[in-house]
């Protein structure tokens, strides 16, 4: 069946994927008619899965009922303490069972949850807290240790709840004093989440996305932005089955292994929302390790895995892979970074699993296009067509729409596009235009609507799914007294996609080694942003007539290792 025939069938009136048009910020927009109206509605639905396992983390096995009891207990306590609709509640922790508890406890009472990047340094975390104006922080002990020295930089922060801490200083409280440990949640009193009036387009989250200049920008997301992904993901799965010419199977809960951080929209919005709706079991790992992942897949009969291409490569290339029964795997999907066409084929040939990919960004709350199964095998260079509620167009530098096949800037619209940037009206006006988001990606569309990302207009390196904006690293390099010229580029890496590398020019009479500059960056930014290689030029870096560094000419400096 063609994509159009499938859409006409699945989205027909009365069908599960029926659409309707509503006004979102004065722009008529197609939406999934039956998507949950808010995260409170989603949480109440997830509660209906009862004793089915929701989360596995080491020896902690939490049912949906136990999760909901913890959510309701924490939500009631936040509400009692005066956390009101629109207040910001920051969340800083690794993938732990507490993460989705905190996320839903905040958002279901109308607060705006601010998931902070758990890899950030103390100053970076403090910036997110101060910029969002968070009055409450719920953190694990490791993140709090980084933030604590900078608490004075967060004047609006009043309440700090810390989980899994051996000891705490004054001015902080244990999260366990409110909800207990995950082992205790099943024994919490049955409770309901406090009633707060919510509408689909109320703000729910601030996810930070690094800007090309200056500090990270907070993308303000709505309840609708997040719940849209539930039906977008399900539609993509149904489309793959119908493209294969098979009958749609009845919905069935799966077991999934989530190894990418929940502070990314890929894991939270594109992953967690649909998992809760469907009643899937979600497994978290303390940190990624291929052998431990094999053990988990074999023991728990994992059906769904992936995250970023790096994960899939490590699973394929590990010498111990054949020692484990990985036959339960049905799908290995990823986003956040481009993948080599050979990876797509090897997933299918080695695991017998269907590959999956898609395209989105923090500003689109993840999924805009989705690509899976045979379509992906046949078009491995594409990120797929847009989901039915979304539209794509390719424009020239003046915003005029280009014809099919032409390369230009990719624009996207739909109910998952965020509301704008937190307290950044000028950046919002520049990026969001009449319901469209200007992505900064260069792309083309084919006759069937499949999208091909060909380059990035923004100076960004994507290392294993982590965005590294070059200006942020360059600014740190410029702060070094010996550096007068600097540029960051991405160099190819088989499993990570690309890695950051720098080219610098030193001031006359000054000296600095590669290791010195790497340590300089590492002291000021998250470790994944540190250049893996630095090349020194005796002259200033090449520039065009407008003074812009010709980054495309710098890659050759790294081609011989």
Phi, psi of 371 (to 5 degrees): -140, 125
- Residue 403, classed as helix, strand or coil, is coil
Instruction: Give CA–CA dist 243/551, Å, rounded.
Output: 41
Judged against a pLDDT cut of 70, whether residue 548 lies above it is answered with: no
- Residue 453, classed as helix, strand or coil, is strand
Place of tokens 């205790």: 184
Judged against a pLDDT cut of 90, whether residue 405 lies above it is answered with: yes
Instruction: Give CA–CA dist 445/451, Å, rounded.
Output: 5
Place of tokens 């996609």: 497
Strands 112-115 and 391-395: unpaired
pLDDT for the residue numbered 453:
87
Instruction: Give CA–CA dist 221/206, Å, rounded.
Output: 6
User: In the beta sheet, which residues pair with residue 413?
Assistant: 391, 436
Q: What value does the mean pLDDT take over residues 198-211?
A: 91
Instruction: Give CA–CA dist 418/372, Å, rounded.
Output: 25
CB-CB contact of 497 with 311 (8 Å): no
Q: Which residue, 338, 335, 341, 556, is CA-closest to 442?
A: 338
pLDDT for the residue numbered 279:
98
CB-CB contact of 81 with 105 (8 Å): no
- Residue 28, classed as helix, strand or coil, is strand
Judged against a pLDDT cut of 80, whether residue 183 lies above it is answered with: yes
Set out the domains of the chain in order of their start, with CATH numbers: 3-21+222-456 (3.40.50.12780), 61-198 (3.40.50.980), 460-558 (3.30.300.30)
Alpha helices in 108-200 (DSSP H): 122-132, 141-147, 176-179
Lowest mean pLDDT among 133-137, 473-477, 547-551: 547-551
Q: What value does the mean pLDDT take over residues 66-75?
A: 98
pLDDT for the residue numbered 135:
98
pLDDT for the residue numbered 337:
60
Instruction: Give CA–CA dist 364/368, Å, rounded.
Output: 7
Q: HSE on the CB side for 127, CA within 13 Å?
A: 16
Give 441 or 403, the one with higher predicted confidence: 403
Which region holds residue 50: left if phi is over 0, alpha if psi is between -120 and 50, else beta? Answer: left
Instruction: Give CA–CA dist 18/23, Å, rounded.
Output: 17
For residue 187, count CB atoms less than 10 angstroms from its CB and return exposed for 0-12, middle for 13-18, buried for 19 or more.
exposed
Question: What are the tokens at 460?
Answer: 């960004």
Instruction: Give CA–CA dist 269/383, Å, rounded.
Output: 18
Judged against a pLDDT cut of 90, whether residue 48 lies above it is answered with: yes
pLDDT for the residue numbered 466:
87
pLDDT for the residue numbered 212:
43
CB-CB contact of 161 with 139 (8 Å): yes
CB-CB contact of 111 with 150 (8 Å): no
Provide long-range contacts, Cβ within 8 A and 24+ apart, for 151-157.
151/126, 153/126, 153/129, 154/126, 154/129, 154/130, 155/130, 156/130, 157/129
**Beta-carbon contacts of residue 246 (< 8 Å; ≥ 6 apart):** none
Neighbours of 312 (CB within 10 A): 25
Question: What are the tokens at 69?
Answer: 């009891």
Per-residue model confidence as pLDDT tens digits over 85-109:
999 999 999 999 999 999 999 999 9
| Rg of the chain, C-alpha, whole Å | 23
State the virtual CA torsion across 454, 443, 531, 472 in degrees, nearest 10. 160
76 band by pLDDT with thresholds 50, 70 and 90 = very high
The verdict on pTM exceeding 0.85 is yes
Distances (CA, A) of 59 to 43, 246, 286, 368: 24, 39, 12, 36
pLDDT for the residue numbered 468:
87
- Rounded percentage of the chain residues whose pLDDT exceeds 70: 96
DSSP state for residue 450 in the 8-state scheme: -
CB-CB contact of 386 with 369 (8 Å): yes
544 band by pLDDT with thresholds 50, 70 and 90 = low
Q: What value does the mean pLDDT take over residues 356-380?
A: 92
Per-residue model confidence as pLDDT tens digits over 450-505:
999 887 666 778 898 888 878 789 889 988 999 988 999 999 998 888 999 999 99
Q: What value does the mean pLDDT take over residues 131-138?
A: 98
Instruction: Give CA–CA dist 485/554, Å, rounded.
Output: 13
**Beta-carbon contacts of residue 345 (< 8 Å; ≥ 6 apart):** 377, 380
Q: What value does the mean pLDDT take over residues 501-527?
A: 95
Instruction: Give CA–CA dist 548/203, Å, rounded.
Output: 38
Q: What value does the mean pLDDT take over residues 161-171?
A: 92
pLDDT for the residue numbered 200:
98
């Amino acid at each position: 069946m063609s994509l159009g025939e499938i859409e006409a069938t699945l989205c027909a009136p009365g069908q599960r994927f029926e659409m309707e048009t509503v006004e979102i910020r004065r722009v008529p927009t197609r939406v999934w008619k039956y998507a949950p109206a808010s995260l409170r509605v989603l949480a109440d639905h997830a509660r209906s899965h009862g004793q089915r396992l929701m989360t596995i983390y080491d020896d902690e096995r939490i049912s949906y009922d136990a999760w909901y009891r913890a959510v309701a207990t924490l939500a009631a306590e936040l509400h009692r303490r005066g956390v009101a609709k629109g207040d910001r509640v920051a969340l800083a922790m690794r993938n732990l069972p507490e993460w989705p508890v905190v996320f839903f406890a905040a958002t279901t009472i109308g607060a705006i949850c601010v998931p902070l990047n758990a890899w950030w340094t103390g100053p970076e975390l403090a910036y997110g807290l101060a910029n969002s104006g968070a009055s409450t922080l719920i953190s694990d002990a490791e993140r709090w240790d980084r933030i604590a020295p900078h608490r004075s930089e967060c004047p609006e922060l009043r309440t700090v709840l810390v989980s899994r801490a051996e000891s705490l200083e004054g001015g902080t409280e244990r999260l366990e004093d409110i909800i207990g440990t995950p082992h205790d949640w099943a024994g919490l009193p049955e409770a309901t989440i406090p009633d707060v009036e919510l509408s689909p387009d109320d703000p729910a989250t601030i996810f930070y996305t690094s800007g090309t200049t200056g500090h990270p920008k907070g993308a303000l997301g709505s309840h609708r932005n997040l719940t849209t992904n539930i039906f977008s993901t399900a539609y993509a799965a149904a489309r793959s089955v119908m493209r294969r010419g098979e009958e749609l199977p009845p919905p069935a809960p799966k077991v999934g292994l989530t190894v990418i951080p929940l502070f990314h929209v890929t894991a939270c919005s594109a992953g967690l929302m649909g998992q809760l709706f469907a009643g899937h079991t979600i497994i978290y790992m303390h940190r990624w390790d291929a052998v431990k992942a094999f053990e988990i897949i074999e023991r728990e009969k994992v059906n769904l895995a992936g995250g970023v291409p790096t994960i899939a490569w490590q699973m394929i290339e590990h010498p111990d892979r054949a020692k484990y029964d990985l036959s339960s795997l049905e799908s290995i999907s990823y986003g956040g970074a481009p993948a080599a066409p050979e990876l797509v084929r090897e997933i299918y040939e080695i695991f017998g699993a269907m590959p999956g990919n898609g395209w989105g960004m923090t500003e689109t709350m993840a999924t805009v296009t989705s690509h899976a199964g045979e379509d992906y095998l046949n078009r491995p260079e594409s990120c797929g067509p847009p989901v039915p509620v979304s539209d794509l167009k390719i424009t020239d530098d003046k915003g005029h729409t280009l014809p099919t096949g032409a390369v230009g800037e990719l624009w996207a619209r739909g109910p998952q596009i965020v509301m704008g940037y937190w307290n950044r009206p000028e950046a919002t006006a520049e990026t969001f235009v009449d319901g469209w988001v200007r992505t900064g990606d260069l792309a083309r569309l084919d006759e069937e609507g499949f999208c091909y990302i060909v380059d990035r207009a923004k100076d960004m390196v994507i290392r294993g799914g982590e965005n590294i904006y070059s200006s942020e690293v360059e600014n740190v390099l410029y702060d070094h007294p010996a550096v007068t010229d600097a540029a960051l580029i991405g160099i190819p890496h088989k499993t990570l996609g690309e890695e950051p590398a720098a080219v610098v020019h030193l001031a006359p009479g000054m000296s600095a080694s590669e290791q010195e500059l790497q340590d300089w960056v590492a002291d000021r930014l998250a470790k994944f942003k540190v250049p893996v290689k630095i090349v020194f030029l005796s002259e200033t870096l090449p520039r065009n007539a407008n003074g812009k560094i010709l980054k495309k000419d710098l890659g050759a400096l790294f081609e011989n290792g």
